[in-house]
Amino acid sequence: MRWSALLLLLLLLLLLLSYTTRAALLKPLRLLPLQQQQQQQQQHLVRWNSSNGSSSNCSSSSSSSKNCSRASRSPCFLHSPVLLLPGRQAAAEAAAAARPTTAAANKKAAAPAAAAVAAAAAGSVSRLGSPRSLHAAAAAAAATRTAAAAAPAAAAAAKPRAATAAAAAAAAAAADGKELGSLLRPLFPLLLQNKNIIPFDNAATSHKPQTVIDAEIEVYRHLNANIHRGAYRLAAAATEAVENAREKLAGFVGGKAEEIVFTSGATAGINLVARAWGDAFVEEGDEICISVAEHHANLVPWQQLAERKKAKLKFIPLNKETRELDVHRAFSLLSPRTRILAVACTSNVIGALLQQQQLQQLLQQAKKQNPKLTTLVDAAQALPHIPLNAPALGADFLVGSSHKMFGGFGLGFVWGSKLKLQQMKPDNYGGEMIQHVSFKESSFTDPPWRFEAGTLPIAQIVGLGAAVDFLKEIGMHNIAAADQLLAKKLFEAVEDLPRVRILSVNPWSKQQQQQQQQQQQQQQRSGAAAAAAAAAAAAAAAAEKGMVPICSFVIEGLSPFDLALCVDQWHNIPFGNAGDY
């Protein structure tokens, strides 16, 4: 008994000691504000990283010891601490070692180049928004959250209305001369919480406005039921919400609801057409025509189709001067054996845009030349920038991506003409797409549901409907004007950087501006009327620059990977590097 009592007493002392030690360690953290806690955690990551033999700069080949201390002190990458972990550091070092660029050259080039690019990028985004408009938008969002807490049943309708009203107010303010981007920024939670971040990788994905996030959340709160398979009221309400979103999306691209097929993304949409239509109608010796500027999603499916069917794949070149699709060359490549013409509205790398008039001319003339031709337009990159009407273009198929147009991930769509969709057999089988099933055979329902086997991403579809409302409230003409304003600032800033070569279409290059000034001077000498006509023509040309705001460039002697990593860590400006596309 004596030994048992001693052991019990010893155990109690150990428990008391461990509790006291834990309280002493946690007490400083509890007394610190949240921001200081995060800073301490960040410093701990840096110290832990150094103790494991990894430097805290962005890569071993692109920073000196001076830059290392700067990176450790800078709070700009506080929201991305994962960049300091050893795994990421090892990957950066391995990538740097595999490149032919020497470490010495990168050490000299990375820091000034990163600072210059950051300054150019930051300078291209002005802060001209009205504080009154920003407070009004924030107040509207706060009022919406309060109303939702008081009346959950009304939240699904109240939140989207408030957010779209704020978007409409921002669009109206933009029409008065204020910059649209700074007015809309408070409507995006990620940008509101990370006020110093300047996101430049929007070609990879768009950020999500509060109205889209709310729409998806409300599905799980109030409409959590499967669609097209239940007679009860909750299932009927969920089905109605999805079909309403389908109608909104159809109207956005100029089609009808029964012509919209939901897929897991634009990539899946192109694969659907390549398999369900291509396998049925492309034969040995036929031709498939695409451009040299296509995304992998609009290249690889056609390569595989050509391999399966022993067809020939042809490529439309770009105009060397304008870097736009060479429409005249395209007509010479088409032949009576061409079965598919698949082109993108715009390149996600160089930003070259095929204007609606040019695209319409290409598609319609090609189909006149060959009535058996089927056309597909990859509009994933263009839809959030320019208005598109798929039937008016003369397209048979048009594909888009939800996450490129303020919607959620894992969702895309195919608009298809009713005739083409009816000709296609499903490429995926399961529930929800059958009309009759037995042990011997099955028959399939009508399009578009014929191509939507299984359970759809219901919340994301409803969110995409909210994204369409968001774009419409802002106004595509306002978006186009803001695009040109910001692109002009960015291109002019990047062009002034040393050792930089711009790869994108640059309508504002100094050479072109000098030519325009010379033409204006000649017009002024010839008379005021001619000068006015030239000014009007210049204004019309500025409205349609033939590009979306994507600036691709290289810096001599510097890896894009190193530059992107350093600009993000040191200046909180994320943008894509060539290896990501």
Residue 244 · residue 399 · CB < 8 Å: no
Q: Structural domains in the chain?
A: 254-396+404-448 (3.40.640.10)
Distance CA 341, CA 195 (A): 44
CA angle 81, 83, 85 (to 5 degrees): 85
- HSE at residue 99, side-chain half, CA atoms within 13 A, is 23
Q: What are phi and psi of 288, to 5 degrees?
A: -120, 130
CA angle 494, 537, 177 (to 5 degrees): 60
The per-residue pLDDT for range 346-403, each reduced to its tens digit, is: 888 887 777 778 889 999 999 999 999 999 999 999 999 999 999 999 999 999 999 9
Q: What are phi and psi of 410, to 5 degrees?
A: 75, 25
Task: Return averaged pLDDT per consecutive 10 residues of the chain, 581 residues in all.
Answer: 70 65 42 43 38 38 35 26 31 40 46 63 42 36 41 44 59 57 88 89 92 97 93 95 98 97 98 97 97 94 98 93 84 94 88 81 92 96 92 96 97 97 94 91 94 96 98 91 87 89 81 64 60 44 61 87 89 76 41
Structure tokens at 442: 């099955």
Q: Which helix (H) or strand (E) holds 518?
A: helix 510-526
Distance CA 105, CA 558 (A): 8
Grouping H, G, I as helix, E, B as strand and the rest as coil, residue 523 is helix
Helix 155-175, helix 210-222: angle, nearest 10: 170
pLDDT score recorded for residue 266: 97
CA distance from start to end of the chain? 74
Residues in the chain: 581
The per-residue pLDDT for range 275-321, each reduced to its tens digit, is: 999 999 999 999 999 999 999 999 999 999 999 999 999 999 988 87
* Amino acid (1-letter code) at residue 365: Q
Structure tokens at 227: 């669609």
The per-residue pLDDT for range 519-563, each reduced to its tens digit, is: 666 666 565 555 445 444 443 444 455 678 888 888 888 888 888
Residue 98 · residue 53 · CB < 8 Å: no
Residue 296 · residue 322 · CB < 8 Å: no
Grouping H, G, I as helix, E, B as strand and the rest as coil, residue 44 is helix
Bridge pairing between strands 338-344 and 260-263: unpaired
